Chains A and B, each alone.
Chain A
């Protein structure tokens, strides 16, 4: 019970972090039709920027500064990169973001080196919030959840209650019409791109010190974020939310479960002889399969329901 509760909390905080990443990616996709391969690179930039600004100003100012800086980089990327490439079609745009991911990674190598940097959880949050039976729950995880939920609520309010939110919603499906009504849609695109990058940056600020801040973090997280977006349905925020929590739970629980398929068959009353040719395969534990589960789920989803859980696009 205690295991379940703690793992549930962990999966929730991880899932919310994934949503912070995938929400931006999915918004950018539905608006511009571009799958931003560099999205997770902005997550990485968030972590590095937080580390760097944190050295100077401390963690709390960095919590705000780093996402803003990432947002500015995102805005410049859209304005002077993507927008120029746009007229050459989606393939060119895709290649542009693909190249950008490598450029960002190399720049990170140049500035901060290949080894992980010492970006740590701030002292003020480095304590045990509560102890459940024998397991300690760190305050930082709770803080992460708090920030994520706060972000979720503000994103929802901005999109549904403000005029700019209406314009964004309308531009998701009918950008030409919105522009013909006199709204500066290219600027809206830039703001959404910057906003999505800033969200990814915020996720980097929060995740960088909980996990690890190193040049490989973008690719490690990037592939999972794609799984989330495909699973949820490209362009659907609700879908991305459900899929984020789902993948968060699958990854957290599967890593934590130290059961093997042998235990499973044993529970069903079938005991496999160690000499059997099946024994090797069945002794694999669920935690060993953890890394492949999200991708397996994505492949299955693409076969069964290509548009994802909540997606509306056919292609």
Chain B
């Protein structure tokens, strides 16, 4: 049994009057890749945002046995949680290199990732080093966001829909990178809509529906459970 990195229990969140998260429970172990699946609007992104302190919520969130409640987003990040949002959020007017350097946290001493690691993983970034990040293609922007977050040496990284709208070749590259991240002892909470890479690379999966977790299990369990896939995933 691996140690638990992230433990979320009874997480509730509201947007105005709508009850978006209705008691979400999940955990991610050390070095584990866990996927959070579900259709659009079931609260996957909100869950991740709540963990990151960007959405008001109630419930318990513990990271490395410390409660995150009441902490601001930057304090949560400094505890070792990384976040790659679904809209990618690169800083368009800054160069690729400047984007990467902003991933370094204030006062950060060491990292399991160096700037050069990023260029080895994604040679394309090195070629575009001094280009404004705004001119990069969607896939390149996705790589940049991910690398930028890794520069801050997170212990766990939450990645929201990284493969959305990307060419299969780049999705493949992403899958390889996720493996590499996990190999270096970093846990991943992957938010996906489709099963594309989730089934292949995850150790465990959660399926969300209507603001709650409706399934938890291994990729094989999900493969076997046709009713869950039909009701909560397939369109």
State yes or no: do A and B come from one complex: yes
Docked Cα-Cα span, A166 to B74, in Å, equals 17
| Interface residue ranges of B56-73 to A (CB < 8 Å) | 72-73
A170 on the interface (CB 8 Å rule)?
yes
Q: Are A185 and B89 in contact (CB under 8 A)?
A: no
A114 on the interface (CB 8 Å rule)?
no
Q: Are A166 and B89 in contact (CB under 8 A)?
A: no
User: Chain B's nearest CB lies how many Å from the CB of A180?
Assistant: 5
Q: Are B74 and A179 in contact (CB under 8 A)?
A: yes
User: Chain A's nearest CB lies how many Å from the CB of B221?
Assistant: 32
* Known contacts A166-B98, A169-B94, A170-B94, A182 near B89 by CB under 8 Å: no
Q: Are B77 and A179 in contact (CB under 8 A)?
A: yes
* Known contacts A166-B98, A166-B102, A167-B102, A179 near B73 by CB under 8 Å: yes
Q: Which residues from B are CB-within-8-Å of A179?
A: 72-74, 77
Q: Are A181 and B52 in contact (CB under 8 A)?
A: no
Q: Are B152 and A173 in contact (CB under 8 A)?
A: no
Q: Is the interface of A mostly helix, strand, loop or mixed?
A: helix
Q: Are B52 and A180 in contact (CB under 8 A)?
A: yes
- Proximity string of chain A (167-190) to chain B, C-beta cutoff 8 Å, 1 when within and 0 when not: 101100110111111111110000
Residue among A176, A179, A180 having the largest count of chain B Cβ atoms under 10 Å: A180
Q: Which residues from B are CB-within-8-Å of A185?
A: 73-74
* Known contacts A166-B102, A176-B54, A186-B72, A181 near B91 by CB under 8 Å: no
* Known contacts A176-B73, A179-B72, A179-B74, A184 near B106 by CB under 8 Å: yes
Q: Which residues from B are CB-within-8-Å of A177?
A: 85, 89, 91
B212 on the interface (CB 8 Å rule)?
no
* Known contacts A169-B93, A169-B94, A178 near B102 by CB under 8 Å: yes
B105 on the interface (CB 8 Å rule)?
yes
Instruction: Name the contact of A182 in the complex, choosing from B77, B85, B93 (C-beta under 8 A).
Output: B77
B138 on the interface (CB 8 Å rule)?
no
Docked Cα-Cα span, A178 to B99, in Å, equals 10
Q: Count the A residues whose beta carbon is within 8 Å of the partner chain — how many?
A: 18
Docked Cα-Cα span, A181 to B101, in Å, equals 11
* Known contacts A176-B54, A182-B77, A186-B72, A170 near B106 by CB under 8 Å: no
Q: Which residues from A are CB-within-8-Å of B93?
A: 169, 173
Q: Which residues from A are CB-within-8-Å of B108?
A: 182
Docked Cα-Cα span, A163 to B107, in Å, equals 12
B163 on the interface (CB 8 Å rule)?
no
Instruction: Name the contact of A174 in the complex, choosing from B74, B77, B89 (C-beta under 8 A).
Output: B89
* Known contacts A166-B94, A174-B89, A177-B85, A182 near B72 by CB under 8 Å: no
Instruction: Name the contact of B77 in the complex, choosing from A167, A170, A180 (C-beta under 8 A).
Output: A180
Q: Which residues from A are CB-within-8-Å of B89?
A: 174, 176-177
Docked Cα-Cα span, A125 to B92, in Å, equals 45
Q: Are A181 and B152 in contact (CB under 8 A)?
A: yes
Docked Cα-Cα span, A214 to B85, in Å, equals 51
| Interface residue ranges of A47-90 to B (CB < 8 Å) | none
Q: Which residues from B are CB-within-8-Å of A186?
A: 72
- Proximity string of chain A (26-57) to chain B, C-beta cutoff 8 Å, 1 when within and 0 when not: 00000000000000000000000000000000
Docked Cα-Cα span, A170 to B134, in Å, equals 12
User: Chain A's nearest CB lies how many Å from the CB of B97?
Assistant: 10
Q: Which residues from B are CB-within-8-Å of A174?
A: 89, 91
| Interface residue ranges of A144-174 to B (CB < 8 Å) | 163, 166-167, 169-170, 173-174
| Interface residue ranges of B150-177 to A (CB < 8 Å) | 152
| Interface residue ranges of A166-224 to B (CB < 8 Å) | 166-167, 169-170, 173-174, 176-186
Docked Cα-Cα span, A89 to B175, in Å, equals 41
Instruction: Name the contact of B102 in the complex, choosing from A170, A173, A184 (C-beta under 8 A).
Output: A170
Instruction: Name the contact of B91 in the complex, choosing from A163, A170, A176, A180 (C-beta under 8 A).
Output: A170
Docked Cα-Cα span, A177 to B102, in Å, equals 11
Q: Are B83 and A180 in contact (CB under 8 A)?
A: yes
Q: Are B152 and A182 in contact (CB under 8 A)?
A: yes
Docked Cα-Cα span, A14 to B206, in Å, equals 63
- Proximity string of chain B (73-90) to chain A, C-beta cutoff 8 Å, 1 when within and 0 when not: 110011000010100010
Closest 3 CB pairs of A and B: A182-B77, A182-B105, A177-B89
- Measured CB to CB, the residues of A under 8 A from B are 163, 166-167, 169-170, 173-174, 176-186
User: What are some 23 contacts across the A-B interface (CB < 8 A)?
Assistant: A167-B102, A170-B102, A173-B93, A174-B89, A176-B54, A176-B73, A176-B85, A176-B89, A177-B85, A178-B102, A179-B77, A180-B77, A180-B83, A181-B74, A181-B102, A181-B103, A181-B105, A181-B148, A182-B77, A182-B152, A183-B74, A183-B105, A185-B73
